[in-house]
Amino acid sequence: MKRQTIFDLYEMKRRGEKISWLTSYDFPTAQFAQAAGLEMILVGDSLGMCVYGYSGTLPVTMDQCINHTEAVRRGAPGCFIVGDMPLGSYQSSDAQAVDNAIRFLKEADVDAVKLEGGIRITSRIKAITDAGVNVIGHIGLTPQSSGQLGGHKAQGRTAETAKLVVGDAIAVQDAGAKMLLVEGVPPEVTKYIWKTLDIPVMSIGAGPHCDGQLLIVSDLIGQFQAFTPKFVKKYCNMAEIVTKAMQEYVAEVKAGQFPDEHKYCYHMVQGEEEKFIALMKE
Ligand code: KIV
C-alpha cells in the first residue's frame, strides 16, 4: 500500500470522501488497521489508560509515545501516522516543542504530530510547522487540561463557550496547522467550524458534520473497561471474547484436555523412542 500523505487527505476532502482514523498503540493492531483500510492512525497519549492502566493521560512520557509509535509505524507502513505530543513535551517553550516534534519524525517516522490547545498554543504550532513538521490541532475537550476544564466535559454547549471554541479553531488554522481535530463539542458547533475552515476537520465525539472520524481502538473493540463515553460505538466486545477464550483454556488445562498429544506436540523422530529408552537404561 502506498504511504498516505497530507496531500492524499486533502484530496479526499476535496472529493467529499470521509477520512477514517483510529488510535493504535502496537504492531499487530496497526497491521489490522492498515488491512481494514484506515487512512490515519493516532498513537494517542490515551495509551496511558488503554495500555498502561493509568487513570488518565498526564503521566505519559515522550519515550513511551516514541516506543509505541515506532511499533505502529512498523505495523502500518502505508497509513498516515500521527504522533501525540504528551503533557510536558511542548508546554515550556517553542524550542522544546520543536525538539520533541523532530524526535517523533526522526525516531518514529511520523507524518504529523498532534498538540492539544487553541489560541494559547499558536506559537508552538507555528514553530513546529516552520521546522517542517505537519501539525494537527486538537481543540474542545482537551484531556491534558481536564483539571482546568473541570474534568472530561463536553465543551461549547452554550453560545458564549461555542464562540470560544470557534476562535480556537480559526487560530489553529491561522498558525499553520494542516488539520484540526475537534473533541467533545456539539455537532452544531463542529458544523460551523467545518464550514468556516479550509483545512480538514476531524471529529471525536463532535458529530458527523466534518471530514472524518477518530475513535479510540480500545473503545471500538470493547477492550477498555473503565468507562465508555457517550459518543463511543463498540463494534465488538473483545473483553468478552478474550475472557471466554481464557476461561476455556483454564478449564482444559485443569481437565488435562490441553494439549491433545496427537495434535499439539512435536513427536520424536521415527524409531528414536526405543533408542532413547535403551540409552536411559545404560
Ligand atoms: O490520546 C488520544 O487518543 C487522543 C484522542 C482522545 C483524541 O488525543
CATH code for position 17 = 3.20.20.60
Same domain, 202 and 70: yes
- CA 28 to centroid of chain Cα atoms: 14
| The pLDDT value given to residue 1 | 72
Give me ligand 1 centre to Cα 51, in Å.
Answer: 13
| The pLDDT value given to residue 149 | 86
Same domain, 232 and 248: no
In a 13 Å sphere around the CA of 17, the CA atoms on its Cβ side amount to 9
Give me ligand 1 centre to Cα 67, in Å.
Answer: 17
Of ligand 1's atoms, which has the minimum distance to the CA of residue 114? 8
Among residues 226, 222, 229, 224, the alpha carbon closest in space to that of 184 is found at 229
Question: Bridge-partner residues for 84, per DSSP?
Answer: 114
Same domain, 259 and 192: no
Three-state DSSP at 266 gives coil
Structural domain containing residue 199: 6-236
Cell matching residue 71? 511499533
- Residue 239 exposed, middle or buried by CB count within 10 Å (0-12, 13-18, 19+): middle
Q: How many domains does the chain have?
A: 2
Same domain, 164 and 181: yes
Same domain, 51 and 118: yes
Q: Is the CB of 218 under 6 A from ligand 1?
A: no
Same domain, 103 and 128: yes
Q: Is the CB of 29 under 6 A from ligand 1?
A: no
Q: Take atom 8 of ligand 1 and give the residue whose Cα is closest.
A: 44
Q: Is the CB of 44 under 6 A from ligand 1?
A: yes
Cell matching residue 15? 472529493
Q: What is the pLDDT along the chain (282 residues), one digit of tens a residue?
A: 799 999 999 999 999 999 999 999 999 999 999 999 999 999 999 999 999 999 999 999 999 999 999 999 999 999 999 999 999 999 999 999 999 999 999 999 999 999 999 999 999 999 999 999 999 999 999 999 988 888 889 999 999 999 999 999 999 999 999 999 999 999 999 999 999 999 999 999 999 999 999 999 999 999 999 999 999 999 999 999 999 999 999 999 999 999 999 999 999 999 999 999 999 999
Give me ligand 1 centre to Cα 46, in Å.
Answer: 5
| The pLDDT value given to residue 225 | 92
Place of cell 500523505: 5
Cell matching residue 140? 474542545
pTM for the model: 0.96
Report which residue type is found at 279: L
Q: Are 224 and 32 in contact (CB under 8 A)?
A: no
Same domain, 209 and 255: no
Same domain, 218 and 257: no
Q: Is the CB of 219 under 6 A from ligand 1?
A: no
Q: Take atom 5 of ligand 1 and give the residue whose Cα is closest.
A: 44
Same domain, 253 and 186: no
**Helix axis angle, 159-174 to 122-130, nearest 10°:** 20
| The pLDDT value given to residue 150 | 82
Same domain, 208 and 260: no
Q: Are 182 and 203 in contact (CB under 8 A)?
A: yes
Q: Take atom 6 of ligand 1 and give the residue whose Cα is closest.
A: 46
Give me ligand 1 centre to Cα 245, in Å.
Answer: 30
Q: Considering all CA atoms of the chain, what is the largest pairwise distance in Å, rounded to the nearest integer? A: 91
Same domain, 161 and 255: no
| The pLDDT value given to residue 169 | 98
CA separation for the pair 102, 34 (Å, rounded): 25
CA separation for the pair 51, 47 (Å, rounded): 5
Three-state DSSP at 42 gives strand
Q: Is the CB of 84 under 6 A from ligand 1?
A: yes
Catalytic residues: 183
Q: Tell me, yes or no, whether 1 lies in a domain.
A: no
Give me ligand 1 centre to Cα 136, in Å.
Answer: 12
Q: Take atom 1 of ligand 1 and give the residue whose Cα is closest.
A: 44
| The pLDDT value given to residue 152 | 86
